[in-house]
Amino acid sequence: MKAFRGAGLDDAPWMKAFKGAGIAGVDGSPWATVLKAGYGIDASAISRTLMPQLPSVSTIPKSFGRKIQLSDETLLFYEETDQFMQDWETDALWLLFLRVGVGAVRPLAQLSRPDVEAAVLLALEMICSDQTYVPALRAAVAKAPHLTSTQRKHLDHMLEHAQEGEYVHASAPLYPGLEGAYREAAYAEAVAERPKGSNRPPGLVTVVKRMPLPAELKTFIKLAIFSGTGHTIRHGSAEGVERRQVLLGIAALAAWLEKFASDAPALEVLGSRLTETLPRAAEELQPALALLSPE
Read off the pLDDT of each residue in 38-67 and give the average, rounded to a whole number. Answer: 42
pLDDT score at 287: 65
CA 85 and chain centroid, separation: 15
Q: What is the pLDDT of residues 142-167, one digit of tens each?
A: 999 999 999 999 999 999 999 999 99
Residue 23: pLDDT band by 50, 70, 90 thresholds? very low
Residue 57: pLDDT band by 50, 70, 90 thresholds? very low
Distance between CA atoms of residues 226 and 245, nearest Å: 9
Neighbours of 231 (CB within 10 A): 13
Neighbours of 51 (CB within 10 A): 17
SS3 for 209-231, per residue? HHCCCCHHHHHHHHHHHCCCHHH
Nearest by Cα to 260 from 292, 213, 227, 228: 213
Which helix (DSSP H) or strand (DSSP E) does residue 20 occupy? helix 13-21
pLDDT score at 35: 61
pLDDT score at 2: 38
Distance between CA atoms of residues 51 and 54, nearest Å: 8
Burial of 7 (0-12, 13-18, 19+ CB in 10 A): exposed
Average pLDDT, the chain: 79
89: Cβ–Cβ under 8 A, 6 or more apart, which residues?
A: none
Instruction: Give the up-direction half-sphere exposure of residue 124: CA atoms within 13 A in the CB hemisphere.
Output: 25
Q: Which amino acid is at 8?
A: G
Q: What is the pLDDT of residues 243-268, one digit of tens each?
A: 999 999 999 999 999 999 978 899 99
N-terminal to C-terminal alpha carbon distance within the chain: 34
The torsion defined by the Cα of 63, 46, 264 and 192, in degrees rounded to 10, comes to 50
Q: Which of the 8 DSSP states describes residue 112? A: -
pLDDT score at 286: 78
Q: What is the pLDDT of residues 170-218, one digit of tens each?
A: 999 999 999 999 999 999 999 999 988 888 888 889 999 999 999 999 9
pLDDT score at 156: 98
Nearest by Cα to 288 from 125, 130, 114: 114
pLDDT score at 155: 98
Lowest mean pLDDT among 16-20, 22-26, 281-285: 16-20
Instruction: Give the up-direction half-sphere exposure of residue 255: CA atoms within 13 A in the CB hemisphere.
Output: 26
Q: What is the pLDDT of residues 121-139, one digit of tens each?
A: 999 999 999 999 999 999 9
Burial of 189 (0-12, 13-18, 19+ CB in 10 A): middle
pLDDT score at 22: 41
What does pTM read for this prediction? 0.76
Residue 289: pLDDT band by 50, 70, 90 thresholds? low
Pair 213, 181: CB distance under 8 Å: no
Residue 74: pLDDT band by 50, 70, 90 thresholds? confident
Neighbours of 86 (CB within 10 A): 11
- pLDDT exceeds cutoff 60 at 61: no
Decide which of 114 and 287 is more confident.
114
Nearest by Cα to 108 from 129, 87, 139: 87
